[in-house]
Amino acid sequence: MVGPPATPLSKIQMNLSSTPGRAKVREEKILVTVRMRPLNRKEQAMYDLIAWDCLDDSTIVFKNPNQERPVIPYTFDKVFADTCSTHKVYEEGAKDVALSALSGINATIFAYGQTGSGKTFTMRGIAENAIKDIYEYIQNQTPERDFILRVSALEIYNETVIDLLNRESGPLRLLDDPEKGTIVEKLIEEVARDSQHLRHLMSICEAQRQVGETALNDKSSRSHQIIRLSIECSLRETSGCVKSYLASLNFVDLAGSERVSQTNTCGKRLKEGSHINRSLLTLTTVIRKLSGGKRGHIPYRDSKLTRILQSSLGGNARTAIICTISLALSHVDQTRNTLAFATSAKEVTNNAQVNMVVSDKALVKDLQKEVARLEEALRSPELSSSSCLRSLLSEKELKIQQMEGVIEELKRQRDLALSQLELERKTNKIQKGSNQYGPSSQVVRCLSFSEEDKSDICERTPEQGEAIVRQAMLKKLIASPNPSILVDEIRHLEHRQRELFEGANRALEDFHKDFATHKLGNQETAETMGKVLSEIKDMLVGSSNPEEIVMADKAKLMEEISRLKSQQNKIASLEKKLENVQKSVDKLVSSFPNTEETLNKTQLKRKKILPFSLSNSPNMQHIIRAPCSPLSSSRRAMEHEIENRAPGNGVALPSGGTFTRLDKDTTLKDNESCNSISSREGSPATRQSKSVNVKKIQRMFKNAAEENIRSFRAYVTELKELVAKLHYQKQLLVCQVLELEANKTANDEVDTTAQSPKPWHVLFEEQRKQIVMLWHLCHISLIHRTQFYLLLRGDPSDQIYMEVELRRLTWLEQHLAELGNASPALLGDEPASSVSASIKALKQEREYLAKRLNTKFTVEERELLYSKWEIPSVGKQRRLQLVNKFWTDPYNMQHIQESAEIVAKLIDFSISGENASKDMFELNFASPFDKKTWAGWNFISNLLNL
């Protein structure tokens, strides 16, 4: 086949390269030489004159015997005088170009000239010399180089291409190949075994050529002849890589230009001459245009000659043109034409390049091995068996389980760390004296009632320390509730509540006793006190008793919940009663200003006046220790008052000491004073002194009573808050327990369901709906959805595919949700690169499908679709608008069905077609569509690392 080397373009590296032993070949002008033919016999017989002279080996000049016009010399790369041998012409005008083919560069040598000027004579010699040199070169090469020579030959006779090695094949067609250029269809290419064989083949070509007799040449070539040697050189390198060069060497013997007047042709010869001249004219035009440097339209296609020689004329080849001329004066015009052609040809530039074929044999061998392995695997019954599939599936499920386990463990560790961090933070705040809590700690604050009034960690009592520990425990408890811990916590709260009520009761009883003993306050005050006392007692009765708690210890969790629920009313009742107590105490306080007056009227009559004292009350410690009690501050105020008293006022009060001890001392001193007053009764000084002391004692008594009333009021207020907190805390705990119970019930239901499975068709419908929703949420490929949806119709064998798909999608959806919720600092670019990549891929897929609408649906069908899917009749990108509506409503199964049907038509997918097999899903994340993954599935695959 004549044309550029028949090597696939993909395997050819069209790089400039150095020819072995030569300079780099880049742009290069055509080598143009002129060979003079001596006068032949006919010319001599006619006494024709020699019209041309060689000035030197590159210049020829017309002899101007008449000296009419100034002579214009012609200069070429070489001018060979008529005495020059063909060998010299070859050596200096063709060899260099011809041997380029040995290093992968296309080469063309052709003879151009007037008929009978010696073209065939010259080309025969050139080819002979080239063949000789080529084989010498091959023989001198090292064994690392292998050469293969192939021969093909054709002639263009009357614009018909004939295979000279297979003339019977008839006229051959020229074809345009995008990679190889013009090629001759069905042209035979014979491998030359050696130089002899090659010569033999060339002799066949010569014998087959059209030759005719004309007036100027007995054996005139009536056709253009092209003999092509394809030379393939393989170079084995130490790395095992093999480089191959492939080049063609064309020997072109053109038919001669001729004038009818000179050749005296007619009929057949005239027709031949006409074709010859026309093709030569095209050649001349091509050369002239190329020489002008203007790369406009080059009329290569105007003749078969120029089409076939296109790469040699300004293309990828080194070219040498030997222009043959006759020295005879009778042919001077034809010679001038030839020299003009030669002059143009000199200006034509070619771009010869090495045609290198790199074939990595090692790689090829590896690929062959891999193919063989895969073929073997495919043939293996094990791989296609269901056991293999099952093991593959179980392996992947195991991997998913492991990943889920890891995720759970990480979550647990994260929660634990957060809990510890929060505790640490709060502990630090407490140590710094701050009791401010962040909004996120609201629940914990409700539970941490015992901590709120701790102002200094240094003064923390064991109870306070315990409260901090409990607080941490409660936070853990909320994060991961445990029924037994919850129940314990409830009991603890109830116990604490009872302690508070009992403490309040004892304090109030003593308080009331003191009032009664000392007749403090008026009747109204006494009534109020009695009322408060009875209300507190009611509260105690209303609270849960120890037996219930003991019973609850043994009760089951649900019974405990019921009990707590039933307590709701009791708690509300308690709150109500506390309200009453609060009101009563307020009333008591408001009535107290009359106390001084009462004291003056009543107590002064008594011989023995005892100040109000709780010194003997065992419950006072409860009041003092009561959380949130302002008693400490009132105590300080009392101490301050006592300290500021004048030393000589007759009241011997020790400075410092506790309130209780102060009361004791005061009581003692007061008793003593009273006794003393009694013994000295009657003296004026004594009366005055007694009057002063009584007033002081009354004032002290009043202060103490006021202080105790205020303290008790504050205590009741605090108690009310505590009850409210307990109530809230219990509710929280009940919720926790209920949640646990609900989970337990749900699990039980699942277990029950597992024991009595639903019918497959029901389960299939449920799973399919879930899958459709998850496809939507995870932005899965529409093509995948369509194929999966249409292929899996609820057969029992679909079960495994459904389960795998559901499992994957569930995992993916959770993973994407976690990515979306996670901190960007923790995730880096992952969320953006994952979700957005899937969305982008889906968008591209929709665009792809939209483009196919025109080819897969007729205009009428499209209009129907637009109408049905409510696409406006006027607007841009209606096709995309339509496709954008597919698969967008996961709740509507009719919509899903119709979407799937349209997408299936767009991608030529048919459930009965060749490409419709459930195996296409392969139970892994590879894309189902021609193995050409969409970005979404690519991402999913990478994401799951399966």
Q: Which is nearer to ligand ATP, 269 or 768 (CB)?
A: 269
- Give, as ranges, the residues between 5 and 44 that touch ligand ATP (CB under 6 A): 37-38, 40
d(CA 612, CA 618): 15
d(CA 62, CA 72): 7
Q: Which amino acid is at 14?
A: M
Q: Which is nearer to ligand ATP, 115 or 319 (CB)?
A: 115
Phi, psi at 836, each rounded to 5°: -65, -35
d(CA 801, CA 780): 16
Helices (H), 756-829: 760-778, 782-791, 799-821, 824-827
Q: Which is nearer to ligand ATP, 123 or 896 (CB)?
A: 123
**Least separation, in Å, of the C-beta of 40 and ligand ATP?**
6
| Stretch near ligand ATP under the rule CB under 6 A, chosen from 109-117, 343-351, 433-441, 751-759 | 109-117
d(CA 12, CA 246): 9
**Least separation, in Å, of the C-beta of 10 and ligand ATP?**
41
**Least separation, in Å, of the C-beta of 116 and ligand ATP?**
4
d(CA 774, CA 896): 13
**Least separation, in Å, of the C-beta of 291 and ligand ATP?**
23
| Stretch near ligand ATP under the rule CB under 6 A, chosen from 216-224, 231-239, 401-409, 490-498 | 216-224
What is the chain's Cα-based Rg? 58
d(CA 816, CA 823): 13
- Give, as ranges, the residues between 318 and 357 that touch ligand ATP (CB under 6 A): 324
Per CB under 6 A, 118 contacts ligand ATP:
yes
Per CB under 6 A, 113 contacts ligand ATP:
yes
- Rule CB under 6 A: choose which of 108, 115, 306, 899 binds ligand ATP: 115
**Least separation, in Å, of the C-beta of 142 and ligand ATP?**
39
In angstroms, how far is CA 845 from the centroid of its own chain?
16
- Rule CB under 6 A: choose which of 33, 106, 108, 117 binds ligand ATP: 117
Per CB under 6 A, 263 contacts ligand ATP:
no
**Least separation, in Å, of the C-beta of 282 and ligand ATP?**
17
**Least separation, in Å, of the C-beta of 74 and ligand ATP?**
18
Write a three-state SS string for 869-880. Answer: CCCCCCCCCHHH
Of 19, 31, 2, 95, which Cα lies nearest the Cα of 355?
19
Q: Which is nearer to ligand ATP, 217 or 306 (CB)?
A: 217
- Rule CB under 6 A: choose which of 5, 256, 273, 314 binds ligand ATP: 256
Q: Which is nearer to ligand ATP, 221 or 736 (CB)?
A: 221
Q: Which residue has the tokens 């009991």?
A: 491
Phi, psi at 222, each rounded to 5°: -100, 10
**Least separation, in Å, of the C-beta of 167 and ligand ATP?**
19
- Give, as ranges, the residues between 509 and 568 that touch ligand ATP (CB under 6 A): none
**Least separation, in Å, of the C-beta of 162 and ligand ATP?**
16
| Stretch near ligand ATP under the rule CB under 6 A, chosen from 112-120, 450-458, 554-562, 842-850 | 112-120
Torsion, Cα of 504, 507, 512, 517 (10° steps)? 170
Q: Which is nearer to ligand ATP, 223 or 528 (CB)?
A: 223
**b/e 620-634 (16+ beta carbons within 10 angstroms → b):** bebbbebbbbbbeeb
* Per-residue CA distances from 828 to 414, 824, 834, 901 (Å): 18, 5, 11, 40
Per CB under 6 A, 225 contacts ligand ATP:
no
Per CB under 6 A, 220 contacts ligand ATP:
yes
**Least separation, in Å, of the C-beta of 11 and ligand ATP?**
39
Token digits of residue 917: 């097999």
d(CA 227, CA 294): 30
**Least separation, in Å, of the C-beta of 250 and ligand ATP?**
17
Q: Which is nearer to ligand ATP, 119 or 518 (CB)?
A: 119
**Least separation, in Å, of the C-beta of 44 and ligand ATP?**
12
**How does strand 160-163 pair with strand 145-157?**
antiparallel
Number of residues that bind ligand ATP (CB under 6 A): 18
- Rule CB under 6 A: choose which of 120, 334, 617, 673 binds ligand ATP: 120
**Least separation, in Å, of the C-beta of 101 and ligand ATP?**
24
Q: Are 879 and 849 in contact (CB under 8 A)?
A: no
Residues 276-315, mask of contacts with ligand ATP (x by CB under 6 A):
----------------------------------------
Of 110, 263, 248, which Cα lies nearest the Cα of 182?
248
**How many Cα neighbours within 13 Å face the side chain of 1?**
17
d(CA 558, CA 156): 106
Which residues are paired to 354 by β-bridges?
105
Q: Are 842 and 936 in contact (CB under 8 A)?
A: yes
Per CB under 6 A, 78 contacts ligand ATP:
no
In angstroms, how far is CA 326 from the centroid of its own chain?
77
Q: Which is nearer to ligand ATP, 256 or 521 (CB)?
A: 256
Which residues in this chain contact ligand ATP in the complex, by CB under 6 A? Answer: 37-38, 40, 113, 115-121, 217, 219-221, 255-256, 324
